[in-house]
Structure 1
Amino acid sequence: MTRPILLAAMIAVPMLSAPALAQDADTVVATVGDEQITLGQMIVMKQSIQDPNMANLPDQALWDMMLDQLIRQTAVAQSAEEDAGVRAQLELQRRNTLASAAVTQIAEADPTEEELKATYDRLFAQADAVREYNAAHILVETEEEAKEIKAQLDDGGDFGALAEQHSTGPSGPNQGDLGWFSADQMVAPFADAVAAMEPGSVSDPVQTEFGWHVIKLNETRLREAPPLEEVRDQISQMVLREKVEAEIQRLVEAADVEKTEGVDPAALNNTDLLEAN
């Protein structure tokens, strides 16, 4: 009876799992020679994965694959000879990584309502309403062609049909339609002609650098400044960009910078310098 009792007792005792390993970014997950591969390196590597199929692998499969790749990479890297070119590249990568981290930290804080309102007011508070035009045109190469088309329109010709038939511009297949635009979006002769027209009218031929235009003005409107809520995201991005640029400028001005004189700029072309140990 002793053996069954012992077996029953063994079954009743819960399996004791290994104690969990303390984990932080510096936790060593493998060593290759005297070089350590850390959990932080694994996490950063996972963040860099672009292939969604790979990123969605089960954790264990992805872990094994990445760790194997890092081990192989480390072993190969240890066989390389470090020359001036390698040292320069490593230093550039280090600075770029640190600079990117600094910019990210600067941009972490969301803009305050005061900052958003101040930027919005700077952009829009004093801005006058902008007149916009909805028009169509027929673009041809010569004045004679333009006059002939204008004559056909004066005789009751259909503007859209004539635009489809004769216009050389990209809007021709769309019956010459240009949609809505402001004067500053068009070249001066075209914009001046449109500004002088009444809705529903057709212009005499107008010459620009692109050729000769016959213009039909459909309607006009005043574009008021958009409300803050409508442009909040764009304003927020602008505030963040300005804060980042201001902090970069402050850091550069505060840095103790000395430029070495006498280095020949032509040395940029001397790649042999990178092969020195």
Structure 2
Amino acid sequence: MSKTLMKLSAAALALSFALPVQAEELTADSVVATVNGKEITLGHMLAVRSNLPEQYQQLGDDVLWDGILDQIVQQQVLATDDRANETKRVTIALDNEKRALLAAEVVASVAKEALTDDAVQAAYDAEYANAELGKEFNASHILVETEEEAKAIAEELKGGADFATLAKSRSTGPSGPNGGDLGWFGPGMMVEPFQVAVEGMEPGAISDPVQTQFGWHVIKLNETRNMEAPALDEVRDQLELTVQQEAVKAYIEGKMASAEVTRTDKADVDTSALSNIDLLGE
């Protein structure tokens, strides 16, 4: 082999060793560091990353890599120090952490298994299929500052004056230029005195003056209609959450019912012990 070819082969070999391992080639078991022979894996880093506060989650992977790995390496160095004793406090904390993580795994598994298209459809049908969703209202109003003005306008309207014309010339509300038109609204969308007045009216009727914090209103109910159920996709997120919550609740209740549980009656203990952190030792 010529010297030129040998140099090219050596350069290519060096370059191949220098290339970074691609993300798709890594697994949770991929070793990213060793500390006195103890392996630190990508999985360890991922577990730390998943528990970072939201503000740190937004940082780039390149920035987080160094910070997370430095932290784990430092912790591993200290964890093998002669002063690193597994005290009662550490043992109990590990017990609690393992218990919480295993319980969370069960909850996640149950929630995932419960989330099917059929379950979401059933939840939608139960919520909306035969439900009385109430009415929507289409109304117009004229807003003025005093009760006297409102009474005078109501009299004019009952005498045959055109509502939209009076609204444009007399209303102080933002809907005045549009003839007082408020469009469609459902139960609870207006302030209470206004909503109560509208719900007690018949289409085409003109109200007596109604006072709210905005002033005095004269209301015309234009028409009503029955509210329609939203499309399934519009409420899918909430339905999925409901399906999962109910499945998890039912699963926990079932497991609790079959578990053998004994509890110390708190009447038999001094509950102030719960504040004595010193019981965990140094």
The interval holding the TM-score normalised by the smaller chain is 0.5 to 0.7
Q: For 2:89 and 2:149, how far apart are their aligned partners in 1?
A: 69
How far apart in 2 are the matches of 1:106 and 1:35? 35
Equivalent residue for 1:98, pick from 97, 102, 112: 102
The 3 A distance-change label for structure 1 pair 138 and 73 is farther
* Contact persistence 1:199–1:218 (CA under 8 A): yes
Q: Is the 8 A contact 1:46 1:55 kept in 2?
A: no
Matched position secondary structure for 2:112: coil
User: Post-superposition shift, 1:132?
Assistant: 1.0
Shift in CA distance, 255/76, structure 1 to aligned 2, threshold 3 Å: same
* Structure 1 length-normalised TM: 0.66
Q: Contact 1:190 / 1:206 at 8 angstroms: preserved in 2?
A: yes
- The residue type paired with residue 137 of structure 2 is Y
- Name the CA shift for 1:249/1:55 in 2 (closer, same or farther; >3 Å): farther
> Residues 161, 54 of structure 1: CA spacing in aligned structure 2 closer, same or farther, 3 A cutoff?
same
Describe the shift of the 1:64–1:132 C-alpha distance in structure 2 as closer, same or farther (beyond 3 A).
Answer: closer
Letter in 1 for 2:198: V
Give deviations 1:111-163, integer Å, cap 9, x for gaps: 4443233222222222235211134667899xxx4354232454468447766
Say whether the 8 Å CA contact 2:150–2:209 is kept in structure 1.
Answer: no
SS of 1:72 mapped into structure 2: helix
Give me the whole-angstrom Cα distance separating, in 2, the residues matched to 1:173 and 1:199.
23
Contact persistence 2:144–2:150 (CA under 8 A): no
Q: Which secondary structure state, in structure 2, belongs to the residue aligned with residue 217 of structure 1?
A: strand
Write the distance in 1 (CA, Å) between the matches of 2:249 and 2:211: 44
Q: Does 1:55 align with 2:56?
A: no
Q: Which residue of 2 aligns with 1:107?
A: 111
Give me the CA root mean square deviation: 4.4
Distance 2:220 2:67 in 1: 65
Return the offset for 1:246.
1.9
| Distance in structure 2 (CA, Å) of the matches to 1:65 and 1:161 | 67
The 3 A distance-change label for structure 1 pair 68 and 233 is closer
**Superposition pairs for residues 159-174 of structure 1, below 5 Å?**
159=167, 164=172
Q: Does residue 265 in structure 1 map to residue 271 in structure 2?
A: yes
Q: Residues 98 and 147 from structure 1, CA distance in 2 versus in 1: closer, same or farther, beyond 3 angstroms?
A: farther
Q: 2:42 matched to which residue of 1? A: 39
Q: Is residue 153–residue 218 contact of structure 2 (8 Å, CA) maintained in 1?
A: no
Residue identity in the other structure for 2:270: D
Q: What is the SS of the residue equivalent to 1:108?
A: helix
2:74 is the counterpart of 1:72: yes
Instruction: Please state how far the C-alpha of 1:100 moved relative to its aligned partner.
Output: 2.4
Could you state the TM-score of these two structures normalised by the residue count of structure 2? 0.65
CA contact (8 A) 1:120 1:235 kept: yes
Task: Give how far 1:259 is off.
Answer: 1.4
Q: CA offset at residue 41 of structure 1?
A: 0.4
Q: How many aligned residue pairs are there? A: 257
Q: Residues of 1 paired with 2:196 and 2:256: CA distance?
A: 46
CA deviation after TM superposition for structure 1 residue 220, in Å: 2.0
Matches within 5 A, 1:148-167: 148-155=149-156, 158-159=166-167, 164=172
Check if 1:242 corresponds to 2:243: no
* Identity among equivalent pairs (%): 42
| Residue in structure 2 matched with residue 167 of structure 1 by the alignment | none
- The Cα of 1:9 is off from its aligned counterpart by 6.9
Aligned-residue offset at 1:46:
3.7
Output the CA distance in 2 between the equivalents of 1:212 and 1:81: 75
1:168 aligned residue? none
